[in-house]
Chain A
Amino acid sequence: MRYAKLLREYLKVNLKALAVYDLDFYFAIFGMAIQNILNIVALGFLFNIVPSIKGYSFQELILTYSLATLSFSIFRCFFINTLNIAEFINKGTLDTILVKPINPLFQLINQRADEDSWGDLAVSLILVIFVDVQLGYPWYITVMFIFISLFTSLIFMGLALLGNTVSLFSNGLSDLAEVTFDFFELSKYPLSIYSQALKWILTFIFPIGWIASIPQERIAQHHEWYWLFVIPVICVVFFVIIYQLWKLFLNKYQSTGT
């Protein structure tokens, strides 16, 4: 309850900060839209050469792509600050976070609003709806995808926190949080295009298969509704495990300091 109230206050402040960006904000949306269109055009060229990839048609691949983008843009809109911990350590902002009487991760997440990612969010939402219609999926599949994306964004946050632990360990010298972007690239494609070993790693160790590939396969293709429950649980469990690890490294940071 306390945190809900706090979240409301933080959202108010962050939205106000976004409004400050003004023109920059709209340019960012525009830029993101262009970037997405170019990505899809590139994928389209690929399909001019081959009719299908591992049984996936052009539309189906776009669905994987847009599901991953939707999840990632939710991460970017709300949790992007978890990427910046190295900078926060170097500038000493982390210390000002630690001396406040609320959860450090909660503060870290809400420390700053990102103005670039709202365009990504809008574009990926439109894409998911558009592709679902193209593929002839019923409307509730789209709703399910949006619901699941809210949870799969936690996987990206988990990966960012995992990168954080390296920064916390090295006192901000090295920063692996950016690797989250590379994982995002991997998550844009169905798991079946990867080798067996990689498929296993991407399912059970760095679980990015759960972001787009598994929901698409299980829900859209096979209509196995219980995955609607399984996938969020997996996301939350992964996040909680990583969060515990992150807390451990935060304590370690306290014993080394700067």
Chain B
Amino acid sequence: MIIETNGLSKKYKKIKSKGLLKKEYIDYSAVNNITLSIEKNEHIGLVGLNGSGKSTLIKMILGILQPTGGEVKTFDRDPVKFRQKNAMHIGIVFGQRSQLRWDLPPIDTFKLNREIYRIPVDVYEERLARLTKLLDAAEFLYQPVRTLSLGQRMKAEFIAALIHDPELIILDEPTIGLDVVTKNSIVSFLKTLTDKTIIFTSHDLEEVEKVCSRVIILNRGKLVLDKSIAEVEKLDTPTTIKFTTQDDLSKIQGKLEIRKVSDSSYEVADIASDEVKNTLSLITGQLDIQHIEVKRSKLEYLLEQTAERRDNFES
């Protein structure tokens, strides 16, 4: 067991109204009563809207934050007390903050990390060569970080975070702002790390589905879904069909609920699984289709659902 939490909570005091002298505080639960356990070699996708408590949960797992309720164990010990010990086995990439030295080439940060994590030189050289090859990073290791593109910098961050061969890898929105090519190369790199435990947060849900073996959805600090990707696949979620045509839609008007996306591009949403075949044949049979796309994005649907449920509940 790599991580275990039991009724884990974190409450903040937030200032509600701030007068000159009068202040009112409200309790705000960033993380609310979360119980989960993460096994070795699992790839966890941690998903949730902004402010749903993902970062707070990660910080508590890392021991940067002290929980206000419940307990958390990382590597079977208290992460706050054993923060520095645990850190030897954890590699972290924060998409929003860098551990690289801004004015120096990435290689200098790697060397510094070699000393920090006490990696023997030959082991270090071998790992560096392997990571560099996997991430295709050879060309920019000796250029100052400030001259690198975001994609190159991110790849360097990955090498810096993985150079000590950590058991647990925490990736907090590592692909934010990256182009498709870089994203794909990072995703396929992550897939090769089958002997590592990964916690991966991202707003790109397709990516989470590709990388992870299990998905955890948080909403307003609460755990709303904890299922393996295989189980998520089995869930009955509606399908969306998008198509492009120059034809007149009157032939199928009335039979389907069609929404116009842009000029000559339309969308039929919320199709139940047993209706997909009929709908498709109706569209393709009646219209001259230039392009058609059938999409069923489980996570996006689940995320929207959980968020809406809460909103309805509150209003």
**Inter-subunit contact A93/B97 (CB<8 Å):** yes
- Say yes or no: A13-B104 contact (C-beta < 8 A), given A6-B116, A254-B80: yes
Chain A contacts for B10, CB-based, 8 A: 257
**Inter-subunit contact A17/B101 (CB<8 Å):** yes
- Say yes or no: A5-B115 contact (C-beta < 8 A), given A95-B59, A255-B65: yes
Chain A contacts for B117, CB-based, 8 A: 101
Say yes or no for B128: interface residue by CB 8 A criterion.
no
- Say yes or no: A20-B104 contact (C-beta < 8 A), given A92-B96, A92-B97, A101-B88: yes
Q: How far is the CB of A117 from chain B (nearest CB, A)?
A: 17
Say yes or no for A134: interface residue by CB 8 A criterion.
no
Q: How far is the CB of A227 from chain B (nearest CB, A)?
A: 38
Which of A5, A13, A92, A95 touches B108 (beta carbons < 8 Å)? A13
- Say yes or no: A10-B66 contact (C-beta < 8 A), given A93-B97, A101-B84: no
- Say yes or no: A95-B104 contact (C-beta < 8 A), given A100-B116, A101-B84, A257-B59: no
Chain B contacts for A95, CB-based, 8 A: 59, 64, 94, 97
Give Cα distance in the complex from A17 to B107, angstroms. 13
Binary CB contact string for chain B from 96 to 130 against chain A (1 if under 8 A, 0 otherwise): 11110101100010011001111000000000000
- Say yes or no: A92-B116 contact (C-beta < 8 A), given A99-B87, A101-B87: no
How many A-B contacts are there with CB distance less than 8 Å? Answer: 72
Interface hub of A9, A93, A101 (most chain B Cβ within 10 A): A101
**Inter-subunit contact B115/A99 (CB<8 Å):** no
Give Cα distance in the complex from A13 to B102, angstroms. 12
Secondary structure of the A contact surface, majority rule: helix
Say yes or no for B32: interface residue by CB 8 A criterion.
no
Restricting to A94-128, which residues have a CB under 8 Å from any CB of B?
95-96, 98-103
- Say yes or no: A92-B80 contact (C-beta < 8 A), given A13-B104, A17-B101, A99-B64: no
Say yes or no for B90: interface residue by CB 8 A criterion.
yes
Restricting to A147-179, which residues have a CB under 8 Å from any CB of B?
none
Interface hub of A2, A92, A99, A100 (most chain B Cβ within 10 A): A99
Restricting to A207-225, which residues have a CB under 8 Å from any CB of B?
none
**Inter-subunit contact A16/B108 (CB<8 Å):** yes
Query: 26 A–B contact pairs at CB < 8 A?
Result: A5-B115, A6-B115, A13-B101, A13-B111, A20-B103, A20-B104, A92-B96, A93-B97, A95-B59, A95-B64, A95-B94, A95-B97, A98-B63, A99-B62, A99-B64, A99-B87, A99-B92, A100-B84, A101-B87, A101-B88, A254-B63, A254-B64, A254-B66, A254-B80, A255-B65, A257-B59
A residues with a Cβ closer than 8 A to B are 2, 5-6, 9-10, 13, 16-17, 20, 91-93, 95-96, 98-103, 251, 254-257
B residues with a Cβ closer than 8 A to A are 10, 12, 56, 59, 62-66, 80, 83-85, 87-88, 90, 92, 94, 96-99, 101, 103-104, 108, 111-112, 115-118, 144
